Amino acid sequence: MRQSLQRGNLSAEIADMKVNFPSGGARDAMNGIRLIFSIILLSFVSLGAKPPEVDTELEYWKRAYSINKNQSEKEALACRIGKYYYSRGLYKSAIEYLDKTGVSTCFFIRIKTLIVLGKLDEAFDLAERLKPDWLKSIIIGDIYFKKGKYQNAYTFYQLVPEDAAYKPFVLLKEAECLSLLGEMDEAQHIYSKLAGDFDGTFVAEVAKRRLKKEYREHYYIQLGAFSTEEAAISFKEKLEKEKGIELDIIDKTDGERTLYCVRYGDFPSRKGAENKAKEIFQDTIFLIGEQ
């Protein structure tokens, strides 16, 4: 046995061991061999070395998983394989193994993988099983954000306490929700605070970029276009009185023709403009334009 192991021929050694067992106990013997082989493979992982006849760590983990009969060890291996696939962006392969493990350290990455794959209802069901804390609030907020329910996402992000480790990153998420909801002043207030309070950090750099208008697109809500300025002013004043808002008149010349356009807002995304338009102008014909 020692000689064959030195040659690195582990498969041949296992075959030799099988022959040495009486036929009546062959099944039990093979179960024992599988356990021994699995332990050997696990030992190689813990030592950071490659086992014989296995080209990659992934192949080795998958072989160990396939022959291991110990449930807790199988789940640990499934967790490791799932994390391996996740780290390489192979999310479908990752979830195949993550769904086979109950290891607590894999629970969050399992939910994150489901979110990436768009399996949001399944991710939500798993997230609901988490104990109530700020991490659960972030995960549920992320699920709502992915669903396009920005108000719900914002509500859950706000549940994260100020002293939580990830609060600065959560504030970025809050500001993004507000921006998509058309609440630009509130979003810019958060970005300004992050840029000042966390200067020199990644969070501050992101906030500064979002504050600079040249780093974002500009969308507006157009509510009407008129051939005379008087008609545009009349429409503008009437709508301002009804809605309690301020509108702008922009004149656009196309050849010899000039149109006076009544517009509202300056939004960093089309989605944000659409959401705001549906909120304020649901009874008015509008279109979304890009500057």
Q: Is residue 284 part of a domain?
A: yes
Q: Is residue 103 part of a domain?
A: no
Residue 144 pLDDT:
92
- pLDDT, one tens digit per residue, over 184-241 is 889 989 999 999 999 888 899 889 888 875 445 678 899 998 888 889 889 999 998 9
Q: Tell me the whole-structure pTM to 2 decimals.
A: 0.55
User: 3-state SS of 23-48?
Assistant: HHHHHHHHHHHHHHHHHHHHHHHHHC
Q: Is residue 247 part of a domain?
A: yes
CATH number where 264 lies: 3.30.70
Domain count, the chain: 3
- Res. 180: pLDDT tops 90: no
Question: Is the same domain home to 206 and 257?
Answer: no
Residues spanned by the domain of 284: 219-290
CATH number where 143 lies: 1.25.40.10
Residue 271 pLDDT:
84
Question: Is the same domain home to 13 and 58?
Answer: yes
Three-class secondary structure of residue 72 per DSSP:
helix
- Res. 147: pLDDT tops 60: yes
- Taking the CB of residue 35, how many other CB atoms lie within 10 A of it? 15
Q: Is residue 197 part of a domain?
A: yes
- Res. 88: pLDDT tops 90: no
Residue 11 pLDDT:
36
Listed range (6-10, 21-25, 250-254, 279-283) with the worst mean pLDDT: 6-10
Residue 212 pLDDT:
76
Question: Is the same domain home to 140 and 211?
Answer: yes
Question: Is the same domain home to 196 and 264?
Answer: no
CB of 61 closer than 8 Å to CB of 84? yes
Average pLDDT, the chain: 78
Q: Is residue 88 part of a domain?
A: no
